[in-house]
Amino acid sequence: MRIFILGFIALFLMSSLVFADTGGFKDALSFYEKGDFSSAVKYLKEYVEKNPDPYAYYFLGYASYKMKNYSESIKYFKKAYTIDPNLSPVPVKD
């Protein structure tokens, strides 16, 4: 019974950590949609350090592009497509 309870607690803690990691990505998208690209870049850079997600790199590239940081933008787009060559990002509101 103890093993079952400990296993359940461990599973709960692991799942909460997984959901906690997406918080930075959601925050970054929120800033992006508001037009606060510098905050979006900040949160996306922190997120991709822990989670090499091609969509996060894609939005990092787009936010950098909006800030006219073209060399950074190209770097992040290349990283996104290196991770997932079949990347098909969702449309973003301008």
pLDDT of residue 88: 72
pLDDT in tens, 9-65: 443 334 333 434 567 899 999 999 999 999 999 999 999 999 999 999 999 999 999
> What domains appear along the chain, each with residue ranges and CATH number?
23-83 (1.25.40.10)
The pLDDT score that the predictor gives to residue 90 is 61
Place of tokens 């822990």: 50
Q: 15-22: long-range contacts (C-beta < 8 A, 24 or more apart)?
A: 21/47, 21/50, 21/51
pTM of the shown model:
0.69
DSSP structural state of residue 87:
-
pLDDT at res. 7 = 39
pLDDT at residue 74, as a whole number: 94
Long-range (24+ apart) CB contacts under 8 A made by 75-82 are 79/54, 80/54, 80/55, 81/54
